[in-house]
Chains A and B, each alone.
Chain A
Amino acid sequence: MTKLILLAVLVLGVIGAIFAVVLYIVAQKFKVDEDPKIDEIAEVLPGANCGGCGKAGCRAMAEAFVKQGNMDGLRCPAGCDAVAQKVAEILGCTAEAAEPQVAVVRCGTCHNGSLNKSQYDGLQDCAFASSLYAGANGCAFGCLGLGNCAKACQFEALHMDPETGMPTVDEDKCIGCGACAKACPRGVIELRNKGKNNRRVYVNCVNTEKGANARKTCDNACIGCGKCEKVCPFGAVHVENNLAYIDYNLCKACRKCVAECPVGAIKAVNFPPKKEVAAPAAEPVAAPAPESVAAPVAEPVKSETTQN
């Protein structure tokens, strides 16, 4: 009996040893040389594979870093400066400090039913609804409220507000990867610099229709009057195609345009509320909220349709 066991151990041991040698030889022969830096950098990167850098994933980004040898034009938006610093140490170069960015929803409508002119019970997908019609509230440019952006966010930074039906960005969680901006079929979401103390001024509308038509569609629409362009002391505002746009690199957040805008389409966020200049800007945006008296009626309809 013991003989049998010994024989088995011996035979298996010899076979194992032979395979080990063969595998070692094969592994040496077909060895792929990979820069150890790739592994090191991949370790440092967040590993969320969000695609915000434009590469297929974090590993692909690490390969791109090593291939290029420096950090010019490559940036991990999820990791911000901390990660950039670590990558720079591994690569032995200097990291340029880049302004952190955040997703901004540039549309001032709401989908709680108070502005709806029709009911949509088709496929709950913005891209599809956009190919069918203008949208429940009639704007062919603005947010459709079906939440493709929220579905695209991997960092739980974007939620559909149940009260307004609009996407809201959690600024602490948003890393500026831009997945939501890509998911939006109408280009409502833009990546903008976070700004000093998170204070930002932006045009809360993307409607390029002529003023009168835009105004007919939505009370908060930019009418392209150009008052903001004239009042801006830094040349940061430009009106093109009946729509104002504030260049975040030039804007110094003085909020002169906010006070000047006749339709309240320019929004200033995260400013202390004490000064009276901030009031006209905050009002039109907050306006839908008090109307949420209608929400209890509208809400069940909404939740029903989202399940469809």
Chain B
Amino acid sequence: MGGVHPEENKISTQAVIEPFPVPEKVVVLMNQHLGAPATPIVNKGDKVKVGQLIAEAKAFMCANIHSPVSGTVSKIDVCKDPFGVSKPAIYIDVEGDEWMETIDRTPDIKRECTLTPQEIVAKLKDMGIVGLGGATFPAHIKYNVPEGKKAEYLIINAVECEPYLTSDHRVMMEHAEEICIGVSILRKALGVPNAYIGIENNKPEPIAVMKAMASKFEGIIVEPLKVRYPQGAEKQLINAITGRRVPSGKLPIDVGCVVSNVGTTFAVYEAIQKNKPLIENILTVTGKKIPSQHNYQVRIGISYGDIIKHSIGELPATTGKVISGGPMMGKAIYNLDGPTVKGAASVLVIDESEAIRDKESNCIRCGKCVSACPMGLEPYYFSGLVRNERFAEAKDRNILDCIECGCCFFSCPANKPLLDEIRMGKNKVRAMMAAQKK
């Protein structure tokens, strides 16, 4: 159902993943994941090593944070995130690059995993693993299947349907075996017979590489999928692979599915087999008008400005927007001094000519947004409801089912800010529900 076909623009697919040099200073935000911020356990002046635990998960929905660099904690204060909002953070001055002794930094691939499922989940929690597909959902919560529910399918999301992004593409090309080991570990943690790796048909190279590698492993099936945005959205992917539909307001586990991003499985491999906490992201630096394309393995806490400076020098004069994430669902970065966090997938430089929205005109009731919506909603109708502040009605029409993929705004010939209005409506509906609960 629904979906659109935006220009793919995957221009950085051939750029090999390079390690990004460690800068002089990093700022580690305490909000790196979905849920409550982590609590710092280091003090000003403390010496830290790479991979040392610096902030602990105290709340249920929270994840541990480890130091991405070695050096001295210079202060614990607030820091403006890429969107200009102040958040608690740990500032670290970098000295050398001394790693924790427990971390295995050899290039050897470790294939055996003797841990029990409970031990695997506990280790995911220790290592601060979160989902790297965009939502940064803490992994230890996802792989701890609640009582009364049973996981039947493990689905690995390697669709990467967002235009421009190539980090998953490159990880599959370069770390296929590690990914397959990671998938086997997750399969063991959940106790499911088969894992499916979903890849869109427009990536023939990773499909071939992954198929060749998966054949050496038990219970890993590579599933090429139709090219369509948002094929990689969780509910759409479950439907494409299993034929099941996740009902409104339910989670994938309610239909026996667990979905994990391919980047996360690589992080899982490194955490479980190599004792390496989640301190690095694979990040794409791309854009049509920039001189070179890159894929980097970059430590968290490095500012977007530093990444741009090192990779392409100055931003082109005609830059209109710098986006974190893809052009469909990503957010424009307001403050380039803001640090990267876990799950940051790209720095996308958009030219002026493509950055500004066209003028809005009236809805002509063409219904394109309705046929484009992958969730079967009526975006034009929400637009009216939100403009007239009829939020209760919007809730009854399942506004909260919207996955914010942007297909409605993309397909609207009148350039109505449909997604903006729906997002605002969702915020208001959530606030309304919270008020009612009280």
Binding site for B on A (CB under 8 A): 117-118, 121-123, 125, 127-128, 131-135, 138, 140, 209-210, 213, 307-308
Contacts and interface: CB of A to CB of B under 8 A. Distances in A.
Given A131-B427, A132-B83, A134-B83, A308 B357 contact: yes
Contacts, number: 53
Given A128-B423, A140-B84, A307-B360, 4 more contacts: A127-B424, A127-B428, A132-B83, A134-B334
B208 to A, nearest CB: 41
Contact of A134 (B78, B85, B359, B417): B85
Return the 10 tightest CB-CB contacts between A and B, nearest first: A134-B84, A123-B420, A128-B424, A133-B83, A123-B417, A133-B334, A121-B357, A122-B420, A140-B85, A308-B360
Contact of A133 (B78, B84, B357, B360): B84
Contacts of A209: 78, 86
23 contacts: A118-B334, A121-B356, A121-B357, A122-B417, A123-B424, A125-B420, A128-B424, A131-B423, A131-B427, A132-B83, A132-B331, A133-B84, A133-B85, A134-B80, A134-B335, A135-B84, A140-B84, A140-B85, A140-B86, A209-B78, A213-B78, A213-B86, A308-B417
Interface string B419-438: 01101100110000000000
A121 B350 CA distance: 15
A308 B359 contact: yes
Interface in B69-107: 78, 80, 83-86
Contacts of A138: 84, 335
B334 A123 contact: no
Interface string B166-179: 00000000000000
Nearest to A118: B334
A131 B426 CA distance: 11
Contacts of A133: 83-85, 334
A187 to B, nearest CB: 15
Interface in B47-86: 78, 80, 83-86
A73 B67 CA distance: 56
B360 to A, nearest CB: 5
B320 to A, nearest CB: 9
Interface string B335-358: 100000000000000000000110
A294 to B, nearest CB: 20
A186 B429 CA distance: 18
A305 B277 CA distance: 45
Contacts of B357: 121-122, 308
A307 B84 contact: no
A4 B84 CA distance: 86
A195 B94 CA distance: 56
A132 B81 CA distance: 12
Interface in B174-216: none
A270 to B, nearest CB: 34
Interface in B389-438: 417, 420-421, 423-424, 427-428
A131 B78 contact: no
A207 B101 CA distance: 45
